[in-house]
């Protein structure tokens, strides 16, 4: 009987671990590259649109969403929306939140994540602000 109980607990732990790691493992990593684009929070971007990514209204929405476990992304020039994963996305993307609504160069690699059909993902290693043109 105790073997059955132990097996049930082990299965339960596996299911919980899978649920906590819903992102899934990286299954492929493309060549290193740099994306230029605007840092956004996905839910605010979807509701407010691409035309307003740099406005104070969308930036305020993004900061509030990030405080509640929002999803940070880059809207790249020409390539679309990439969810940012990896070390720069850690701790609620604390290193990227100051760049919300700003144009940056994001260096890293596009990654393919198992069971992720919502967004393309980008493992960002370095962020560099792009100076405003005068």
**DSSP state string for 1-47:** -HHHHHHHHHHHHHHHHHHHTTT--EEEEEEEEEEEEEEEEHHHHHH
Rounded to an integer, the average pLDDT of 36-61 is 95
Q: What is the pTM of this model?
A: 0.77
Q: Give all domains of the chain, ordered by start, each with its CATH number.
A: 27-129 (2.40.50)
Residue 1 scores a pLDDT above 70: no
| pLDDT reported for residue 24 | 61
**DSSP 8-state assignment for residue 100:** B
């Amino acid at each position: 009987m105790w073997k059955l109980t132990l097996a049930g607990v082990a299965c339960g732990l596996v299911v919980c671990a899978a649920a906590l790691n819903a992102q899934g493992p990286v299954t492929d990593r493309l060549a290193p590259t740099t994306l230029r684009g605007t840092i956004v929070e996905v839910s605010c971007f979807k509701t407010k649109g691409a035309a307003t990514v740099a406005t104070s209204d969308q930036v305020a929405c993004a900061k509030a969403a990030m405080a509640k476990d929002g999803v940070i992304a880059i809207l790249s020039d020409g390539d679309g929306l990439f969810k940012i994963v990896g070390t720069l996305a850690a701790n609620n993307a604390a290193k990227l939140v100051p760049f919300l609504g700003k144009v940056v160069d994001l260096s890293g690699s596009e990654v393919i994540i198992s069971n992720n059909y919502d967004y393309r993902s980008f493992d960002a290693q370095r962020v560099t602000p792009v100076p405003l043109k005068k």
